[in-house]
Amino acid sequence: MKLLSLFLFGAPLAGVLASPCTPPGPTWSTLPPIALAPRQEHVAVALTPTSLAIFGGIVPAEDWWPTVPVLQIYDIPSQTWRRAADAPKGLNHPNAAVVNGKIFLLGGLKEVTPTDLAWRPTNESWVYDPATDIWSSLPPLPVTDVARGSAAMGVFGHIIFLAGGITQTPFDPALGEQESVDDVSAFDTKTNTWINLPAKAKKIPAARDHAGAAVVGNKFYILGGRDHGQNNVRDTVFELDFKNLQKGWVVKKGKMPTARGGVVAAAVGKNIYTIGGEGNPKNGTEGVFPQVEAYDTTKDKWEKLPDMQVPRHGTSAVALGGGIYIPGGGVKQGGAPVDVFDVFWP
């Protein structure tokens, strides 16, 4: 467990490459690898206009992929990584979003135990304040709601929305299959309370986990994902108007050119870029999708763009300064964490 010991006791490491310039797109640029160790099934969020944070996920070890509580922050101008305070609990497939410069961690999946070989959800929630480097507890997701990980995350004002997700990832066939849900939850960061949504906003049109998600203007989009298993990939686009929650979710006509789960997404302007993914049936792909496809939210149309230079799944995409930053991920279906870090310039 040498790599795990680095996470528990190691000091932050820093990249040493020169600062990037914005090249004409569409193209990819390589960045300093994730410090400490490779990472997969983590979350990445934009922390400031010039920095992003990654939290949780799994790392490689001798006989397993331990789930870690590690928070790291990457500074874009200096291209350096630093380690921040660990969260109270390690989570993979965490649900996280940033509001007013603070990271809200709203559940995720816990480590397996010797008697239960499955990643299962927690309803526990916390908030991280970078000004103090302190995590504080928040009210847990109510027992009347569904605890899950890998939810599609969207923010509108001071409200965080969690849509869909997964309630178990078993590693023993006797425990059944992966369980996807269609539930939608909302957390008010001003009052630190979970709020009720109108009936038509409480459920997405079909169960999804490992979907891409992005907000453009006042609309929340969920793109692709999967339903009960890695190979059950979907090509749908769901839309919710934050200013008309009573109307509920709409299924858009423009389907993804490539159905994918484990896909990441980020918005730049009116376009949402869907990148990578898992569940590729083609030989020689290791089950991973290389595709990059752009969805024009104003035209409900798709465009194909240059593939990923290192195809991955199980990561996150963060849009900052016109680029889409993708730290880590897996290079094979299932667990295969890497420390690759790159940025896509649309």
Nearest residue to 264 via CA among 295, 224, 204: 224
Q: CA-based diameter of the chain, in Å? A: 53
The two tokens of residue 126 are 């916390």
pLDDT band with cut points at 50, 70 and 90 for residue 271: very high
Express each pLDDT in 96-155 by its tens digit: 999 999 999 999 999 999 999 999 999 999 999 999 999 999 999 999 999 999 999 999
pLDDT of residue 62: 83
Question: Is residue 346 included in any domain, yes or no?
Answer: no
Radius of gyration of the chain (CA): 18
Residue 225 near residue 163 (C-beta atoms within 8 A): no
Question: Is residue 154 included in any domain, yes or no?
Answer: yes
Average pLDDT of span 185-198: 98
Q: What is the pTM of this model?
A: 0.94
CA–CA separation, 231 and 259 (whole Å): 10
Lowest mean pLDDT among 59-63, 96-100, 124-128, 307-311: 59-63
pLDDT of residue 22: 67
Q: Could you tell me the residue range of the domain that residue 263 belongs to?
A: 2-15+27-332
CATH, residue 276: 2.120.10.80
What's the structural domain count of the chain? 1
| Percent of the chain's residues with pLDDT above 70 | 93
Question: Is residue 300 included in any domain, yes or no?
Answer: yes
Q: Examine the pLDDT at 208 and tell me if it is beyond 50.
A: yes
Question: Is residue 96 included in any domain, yes or no?
Answer: yes
Question: Is residue 339 included in any domain, yes or no?
Answer: no
pLDDT of residue 329: 98
Question: Is residue 241 included in any domain, yes or no?
Answer: yes
pLDDT of residue 63: 83
Query: How many angstroms separate the first and last alpha carbons of the chain?
Result: 39
Express each pLDDT in 10-57 by its tens digit: 333 333 333 346 677 799 999 999 999 999 999 999 999 999 999 999
CA–CA separation, 290 and 109 (whole Å): 26
Mean pLDDT, the chain, whole residue set = 94
Question: Is residue 258 included in any domain, yes or no?
Answer: yes
pLDDT of residue 12: 33
Question: Is residue 343 included in any domain, yes or no?
Answer: no
